[in-house]
């Protein structure tokens, strides 16, 4: 394998459960890891300049379009250079952090990363860690309101062709929100299982 590309997107720093579980995976990864922390170094959102740069010949691009092209080329080269992926993407207000969406928007270019008969990254393994404050499984009050994992499994799996394995530590608000305090044991169990699953996936993918 060339390297594992790790993308972090939580604004909570070391307190982030998504980041902590991703750390567990990384500790058991035996190869090189390239990390891009979007919370520390966020990307600008894709704008008209970045979109028009994709269809404007290089010799006709404005300085702003050339800068946008250079950024997209850098991100795509980094993405395609990896042989495996680790995405730490917590749930923010039922969806993904905007910094991760921005990263996706920059690398999702038809004909380059998706939209061809054989996506260039198709079949490569990816681990998605998505912590969330509540519970979203069957039978929970929030069931059906997870708009992070289904969207990312579609984008990463269906569009980019990655082999996505998802880890979802839940009830992370239980230790800090009084109405959820009775769910602390379930939170602790979910977190333990998430770390165990991270270790097992790292071992399996580096075997």
pLDDT of residue 141: 87
Q: Are 17 and 131 in contact (CB under 8 A)?
A: yes
Classified as helix, coil or strand, 38 is coil
pLDDT, tens digit, 9 for 90 and up, residues 20-34: 999 999 999 999 999
Closest residue by Cα to residue 110 from 149, 160, 48: 160
Residue 1: pLDDT above 60?
Answer: no
Domains of the chain, first to last: 4-206 (3.40.50.360)
Read off the pTM: 0.95
Question: What integer is the mean pLDDT of 189-207?
Answer: 96
Q: Where are the alpha helices (DSSP H) in the chain?
A: 17-27, 48-53, 63-81, 98-107, 149-152, 184-206
């Amino acid at each position: 394998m060339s390297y594992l590309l790790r993308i972090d997107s939580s604004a909570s720093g070391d307190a982030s459960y998504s980041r902590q579980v991703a750390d567990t995976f990384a500790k058991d990864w035996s190869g090189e890891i390239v990390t891009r922390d979007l919370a520390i170094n966020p990307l600008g959102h894709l704008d008209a300049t970045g979109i028009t740069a994709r269809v404007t010949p290089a010799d006709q691009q404005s300085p702003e379009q050339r800068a946008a092209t250079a950024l997209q080329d850098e991100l795509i080269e980094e993405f395609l250079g990896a042989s495996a992926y680790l995405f730490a993407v917590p749930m923010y207000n039922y969806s993904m952090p905007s910094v991760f969406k921005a990263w996706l928007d920059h690398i999702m270019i038809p004909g380059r990363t998706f939209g061809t008969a054989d996506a260039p990254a198709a079949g490569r393994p990816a681990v998605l860690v998505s912590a969330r404050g509540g519970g979203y499984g069957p039978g929970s009050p929030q069931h059906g309101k997870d708009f992070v994992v289904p969207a990312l499994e579609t984008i990463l799996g269906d569009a980019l062709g990655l082999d996505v394995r998802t880890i979802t530590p839940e009830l992370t608000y239980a230790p800090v929100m009084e109405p959820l305090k009775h769910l602390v044991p379930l939170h602790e169990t979910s977190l333990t299982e998430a770390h165990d699953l991270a270790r097992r996936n790292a071992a399996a993918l580096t075997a």
